[in-house]
Structure 1
Amino acid sequence: MMIIYIVYDMYTPTVSFAINEVPQVCAFENCPTSFRFCVTRYYGRSSVEIIALAKSDAGTIAALPERETLKW
């Protein structure tokens, strides 16, 4: 099973991603303060389950040196 983490940091404001706890090189910066997310399936007969929503003051996913940020 693949677990995808999506972390919205309202202090920076960025959205970062990790797959099975491995930080990814793509992120979004300058995100709006009001934020909604959705999940879509790419392949038929695939499924998505949101297993947790949490608010944390512990920081974000580690920023990789080669991380590419996309302007919101």
Structure 2
Amino acid sequence: MEYLAAIQLAELISTVFYTFVGVALMGAVWKVVDWLTPFPIMKEIEQDQNMALAVLIGMLFISIAIIIAAVIVS
């Protein structure tokens, strides 16, 4: 019984660790994308109401999240 508790604890710790790794990678991707664009992304989305850019950035985050999840699982 203690063996199962140790396995569950190890899985919980690894899940929390990989969650933080995934969030840090998403933050790094955001910084790189923001650095590479010649215009301020947040201003375009918030003030100029650029819906196409908002959808593009959203899809970028979804695709990066899928890639990060696949790498973490493998």
Q: Please say which structure displays the higher CA radius of gyration.
A: 2
Q: Which TM-score tier does this pair reach, normalised by the shorter chain? A: under 0.3
Structure with bigger strand share is: 1
TM-score between the two structures when normalised by the length of structure 1: 0.23
Structure with bigger helix share is: 2
